[in-house]
Amino acid sequence: MSKRYLLPIALILLGVFFGYFDYASEAGTRFAKFPFSLGLDLSGGTHLVYDADLSGVVDGEEKDSLYALRDVIERRVNIFGVSEPLVQVEQNISENGTKGGRLIIELPGVTNVEDTVALIGATPVLEFKIENKNFNSEEVTHNEETGESFYQGRPLLADDVYVSTGLTGRHLKSARLDFNNISSDPFVTLIFNSEGSDIFAELTRDNIGKIIAIYLDGAPITTPVVQNEITGGEAQITGKFTNEEAKLLVGRLNAGALPVPISLLSTQTIGSTLGQDATRDGVKAGLYGLILVALFFMAWYRLPGLFAVISLGFYLVFLLALFKLIPVTLTSAGIAGFILSIGLAVDANVLIFERLKEEQKMEKNTHDAINEAFIRAWASIRDANISSILTAIILFWFGTSLIKGFALTFGLGVLVSMFTAIIFTKSLMLAFIPNNKSTSSAIKFLLGSGLKK
């Protein structure tokens, strides 16, 4: 077998394998662990928007706190097996100067809003507070009948007694369950990261003989008195826990203690039926576009058009396999980017084939004409595709999640199309088109285009 047949045959066999891989992974016969990863709008699921309270965060640390919040929620939802969760944060400042942020959560496949809200809301807010130096206990009065306490004529608040220190759940590295060697009572040991260790050591050094209150979800769970400076980055919560309560607390803290409080603003549920309809319509649009492009190419460009269609088939199965292997989370916008890239996949072939007509007029051998056509068309193909790739990168870098899905599928499509147009189509033409003078009437017809013979 001539060497010129090796590359096209190898690529055709590779395309057959990718086609089988795409089919088998969806049919569940083989490669079942590589299904398409569908976004919220295609698979159905829950969209939640939370308000993040940044009023207690030190100026300049708002962004870090929001990123820490995002990481905590991602760890939390991943524990429950949610597929491809999307967690985003947005920082904002209101007209009156109040600092705040938004937490946006998308959970594909989760349609039970109550369970989802409970899952997110179960994550505790952990804070360490010290005694308020400005608090005067003599100004506290008590109502014997109701049991309420008042301070300066208003109800006594926890913030009146204790103030925040800046040490929160975002400084927590891990938590573990321990037991008292004498009483066997359970307690929780907190292990801080390097930043938290330094803050905790400074707090205990500056507050010897005073109380450092540990708050969970806005309520004090223990108010220990500092006996001496504590270094090493460990603290103990010794509240009156049962074994189950202490175990649950450790699990919740390890899943993620929220660095800032959050409150639910809105919920939206997308049904699986709507997602299936969107998926079906997107697949139909892609197939119709592919068929129309294939028919036009074979009718207009004849034999080169046939090779371009074969190359387009390889492009399709390879790109779909790539979506599964990376994996790429497909959304409606992502499917739109994929369909748009189909048109660009044949754009390079149009430039090459039109240049081939010019080379034929010079009465060159077919292989010389084909090689020259690819060489001369390359500059235009390169510039056009680089522009498209740069656009996709900018959209992915600065866009929202919806735009990122479009940019990713579009950018991957452009990259794959460059390979199929330059390598695959060229190898097919050189292997299966005889190297005759282009003056032959048969060669002229096969390599011609349009309605003329």
Average pLDDT over residues 242-252: 78
Domain ranges in the chain are 3-40+271-447, 45-268
Given a cut of 70, whether residue 25 has pLDDT beyond it is yes
Asked if 305 and 298 count as a contact pair (C-beta separation under 8 A), the reply is yes
Which tens digits make up the pLDDT trace of 274-321?
567 767 777 787 788 788 888 888 888 888 899 999 998 999 999 999
Q: Which of 96-105, 360-369, 397-406 has the lowest mean pLDDT?
A: 96-105
Detail the DSSP E strand segments found in 210-333.
212-216, 219-222, 234-237, 262-270, 329-330
Q: What is the CATH number of domain 45-268?
A: 3.30.1360.200
Question: Residues 95-144: pLDDT tens digits?
Answer: 555 677 888 888 877 777 777 777 676 656 778 899 888 888 778 888 87
Q: How would you class 96 by CB atoms within 10 Å of its CB: exposed for 0-12, middle for 13-18, buried for 19 or more?
A: exposed
- CATH class, domain 3-40+271-447, is mainly alpha
Among 99-103, 208-212, 446-450, which stretch is predicted with the lowest mean pLDDT? 446-450
In this predicted structure, what is the pLDDT of residue 93? 61
- Give the tens place of pLDDT for each residue, 369-387: 889 999 999 999 999 899 9
User: What is the phi/psi pair of residue 208, to 5°?
Assistant: -65, 130
Written as six digits, the tokens of 288 are: 């119709």
Residue 389 has pLDDT above 90, yes or no: yes
- Specify the DSSP element, H or E, that contains 320: helix 272-325
Confidence band (pLDDT; 50, 70, 90) for 438? low
Three-state helix/strand/coil letters over 165-202: EEEEHHHEEEEEEEECCCCCCEEEEEEECHHHHHHHHH
Measure CA 296 to chain center.
37
For residue 183, the model assigns a pLDDT of 81
Cis amide prior to 220 (ω within 30 degrees): no
pTM of the model: 0.62
The amino acid that residue 423 corresponds to is I
